[in-house]
């Protein structure tokens, strides 16, 4: 009646929250925001994400997408230019 412990595999890879690039966690930059750990390629992407995450609801929703969904939305466009276009649309709506 005892439950056998199952071996588990640690996650050794992560995706950058800004650009979606995958890499080993030992090579990525970790930002801790309260109880949440957010992974980035480098500190520039972390700073860009921090600067833009509270700009508007549309930008926040986009930045919270996973790498697959983000690539689908971008359709080959640069993340920074897409975020700027979202910010421009939010400024026009106000």
pLDDT one-digit tens code per residue, 41-94? 999 999 999 999 888 898 999 999 988 999 999 988 899 999 999 988 888 876
pLDDT at 1 over 70: no
Q: 73 with 62: CB under 8 angstroms?
A: yes
Write the CA distances from 89 to 51, 64, 94, integer angstroms: 17, 18, 9
Tokens (6 digits) for 66: 């996973």
Alpha-carbon gap, residue 44 to 46, rounded angstroms: 5
CB neighbour class for 67 (10 Å; exposed up to 12, middle 13-18, buried from 19): middle
């Amino acid at each position: 009646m005892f439950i056998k412990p199952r071996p588990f595999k640690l996650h050794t890879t992560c995706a950058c929250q800004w650009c979606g690039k995958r890499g080993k966690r030992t090579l990525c930059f970790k930002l801790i925001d309260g109880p949440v750990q957010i992974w980035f390629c480098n500190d520039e992407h972390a700073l860009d994400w921090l600067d833009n995450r509270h700009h508007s609801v549309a930008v926040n929703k986009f930045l919270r997408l996973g790498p697959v969904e983000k690539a689908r939305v971008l359709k080959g466009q640069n993340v920074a230019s897409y975020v700027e276009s979202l910010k421009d649309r939010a400024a026009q709506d106000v």
